[in-house]
């Protein structure tokens, strides 16, 4: 039996989402067609839009369907930057946190390299929390030149929940729109678009129990976005392309299920996570929990400032990839949380931004739980981990010698 501890990468589809997708797949109709089949497909699309919006505190007209979180992030950053630059050519500064997902960081760097943007990376503290004072200073100095701010709701590697109320409050004083990648947050913590004050928010289907290759950008009414895709003018004219009614129905059902069961699931998963943290530390005493921790409880995961399903460790003297492969061979699936570019393993940019030494950052493993997780998954990890760490350290010593 395999212990799956990589729900932050993708989580199994929820039963209702599978049922809805299966029911809808046999139906025919392009939502843009005017005949009966097309109108029926359009009805599915709009009902799905309404269901997703209601679950996330948005208006249906604020939901822009996309092919996933990466496209939604690209539309938010590029669309906002180009629209703002058109309105005011002096607004060239793109402000993002240093720990963003690459779906935000890479478009931001691309805008700086190819579109004349001035990129500003906000620093974070040792827990991965964005430096609000740095944002305050940036806006006080360059508020009339900032095109947009993008700070994720929750970090995908170490689980840090960001102080979005503070970020939005500061940006609003200067008339600067704020986008948040909420891909990891939806279904884990309360997410209410209207209450957040955000201008744009990214959602991804497969991260919360829906199908892959589908997501949405919630964009407040009146927000100007320059299209990234051009074609038939679907989705408010900012995201062209034929909509897949069955997939949209499925992801809407997943959002409804995930948010409806959120409190119950989060409590159960957080208890599993806390057990995992305690037992990993007992099994490997020098393992270091990264991300928000509560000093009053001996450094346990900080429930108020961290996703309930996240446990991220670094293991001294180990390479994360070695740990990953050894655990995999023992039937435990996790993630390093780091990028691998051109076949060369690189330490996580998130950990480096948090001030973790590059050598230590290479020994990272992320364990993330979800709706199918059980105590048996934690048992399997704890049983395999000491031997895996010992072998990984031995392999590292052999390479050094």
The model's pLDDT over 207-238, given as tens digits with 9 standing for 90+, comes to: 999 999 999 999 999 999 999 999 999 998 99
> Which residue range is the domain that position 288 belongs to?
262-400
Domain boundary among 260, 291, 319: 260
**Are residues 304 and 213 both part of a single domain?**
no
Model confidence over 362-386: pLDDT tens digits?
A: 999 999 999 999 999 999 999 999 9
Distance of CA 269 to the CA centre of its chain: 18
How far apart are alpha carbons 210 and 17 in whole angstroms?
Answer: 6
CATH code of the domain in which 296 resides: 3.90.1150.10
**Are residues 63 and 136 both part of a single domain?**
yes
- DSSP-derived 3-state class of residue 269: helix
**Are residues 44 and 124 both part of a single domain?**
yes
**Are residues 222 and 266 both part of a single domain?**
no
Query: Could you say which of 267, 339, 340, 359 is catalytic?
Result: 340
Domain boundary among 232, 260, 288: 260
Confidence (pLDDT) at 301: 74
Confidence (pLDDT) at 342: 43
Confidence (pLDDT) at 336: 92
Q: How many domains does the chain have?
A: 2
**Are residues 289 and 254 both part of a single domain?**
no
Q: In terms of pTM, does the model score above 0.85?
A: yes
For 37-80, the DSSP string reads HHHHHHHHHHHHHHHHHHHTT--GGGEEEESSHHHHHHHHHHHH
How far apart are alpha carbons 178 and 189 in whole angstroms?
Answer: 19
How is residue 341 written in tokens? 């570019």
- Return the number of other C-beta atoms located less than 10 Å from residue 194's C-beta: 14
**Are residues 234 and 288 both part of a single domain?**
no
Confidence (pLDDT) at 395: 82
**Are residues 137 and 53 both part of a single domain?**
yes
Confidence (pLDDT) at 59: 98
Angle at 377 between CA 374 and CA 378, to 5 degrees: 100
Domain boundary among 234, 260, 286: 260
Number of residues written out for the chain: 401
| CA diameter of the chain | 72
**Are residues 349 and 249 both part of a single domain?**
no
Q: Which of the residues in the chain have pLDDT under 70?
A: 295-298, 338-344, 396-401
Considering the domain boundaries, does residue 6 fall inside one?
Answer: no
The yes-or-no answer on residue 318 being catalytic is: no
Distance of CA 117 to the CA centre of its chain: 24
Confidence (pLDDT) at 389: 97
Considering the domain boundaries, does residue 71 fall inside one?
Answer: yes
Strand partners, 26: none
381-385 contact pairs (CB < 8 A, 24+): 381/3, 381/5, 381/276, 381/280, 381/327, 381/332, 381/334, 382/276, 382/279, 382/280, 382/283, 384/327, 384/330, 384/331, 384/332, 385/280, 385/283, 385/284, 385/327
CATH code of the domain in which 88 resides: 3.40.640.10
């Amino acid at each position: 039996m395999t212990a799956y501890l990589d729900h932050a990468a993708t989580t199994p589809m929820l039963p209702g989402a599978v049922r809805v997708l299966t029911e809808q797949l046999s139906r025919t109709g392009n939502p843009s067609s005017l005949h009966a089949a097309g109108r029926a497909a359009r009805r599915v699309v709009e009902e799905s839009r309404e269901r997703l919006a209601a679950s996330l505190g948005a208006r249906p007209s604020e939901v822009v369907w996309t092919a996933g979180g990466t496209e939604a992030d690209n539309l938010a950053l590029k669309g906002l930057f180009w629209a703002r630059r058109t309105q005011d050519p002096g607004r060239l500064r793109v402000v993002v946190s240093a720990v963003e997902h690459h779906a935000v960081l890479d478009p931001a760097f691309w805008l700086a390299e190819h579109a004349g943007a001035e990129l500003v990376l906000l620093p974070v503290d040792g827990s991965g929390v964005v430096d609000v004072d740095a944002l305050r200073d940036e806006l006080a100095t360059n508020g009339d030149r900032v095109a947009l701010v993008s700070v994720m709701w929750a970090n995908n590697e170490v689980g840090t929940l960001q102080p979005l109320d503070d970020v939005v409050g500061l940006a609003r004083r200067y008339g600067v729109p704020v986008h948040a990648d909420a891909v990891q947050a939806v279904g884990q913590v309360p997410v209410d678009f209207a209450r957040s004050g955000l201008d744009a928010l990214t959602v991804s289907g497969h991260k919360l129990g829906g199908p892959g290759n589908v997501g949405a950008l919630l964009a407040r009414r009146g927000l100007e976005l320059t299209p990234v895709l051009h074609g038939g003018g679907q989705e408010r004219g900012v995201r062209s392309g034929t909509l897949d009614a069955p997939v949209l129905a499925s992801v809407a059902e997943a959002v409804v299920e995930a948010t409806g069961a959120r409190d119950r699931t989060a409590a159960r998963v957080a208890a599993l996570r806390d057990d995992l943290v305690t037992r990993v530390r007992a099994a490997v005493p020098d393992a270091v929990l990264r991300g928000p921790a509560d000093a009053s409880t001996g450094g346990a995961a900080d429930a108020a400032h961290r996703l309930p399903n996240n446990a991220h460790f670094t293991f001294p003297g180990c390479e994360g990839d070695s740990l990953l492969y050894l655990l995999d061979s023992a039937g435990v699936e996790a993630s390093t949380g780091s990028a691998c570019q051109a076949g060369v393993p690189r330490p996580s940019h998130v950990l480096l931004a948090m001030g973790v030494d590059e050598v230590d950052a290479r020994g990272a493993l992320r364990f993330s739980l979800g709706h199918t997780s059980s105590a048996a998954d934690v048992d399997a990890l704890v049983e395999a981990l000491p031997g895996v760490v010992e072998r990984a350290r031995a392999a590292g010593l052999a390479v050094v010698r």
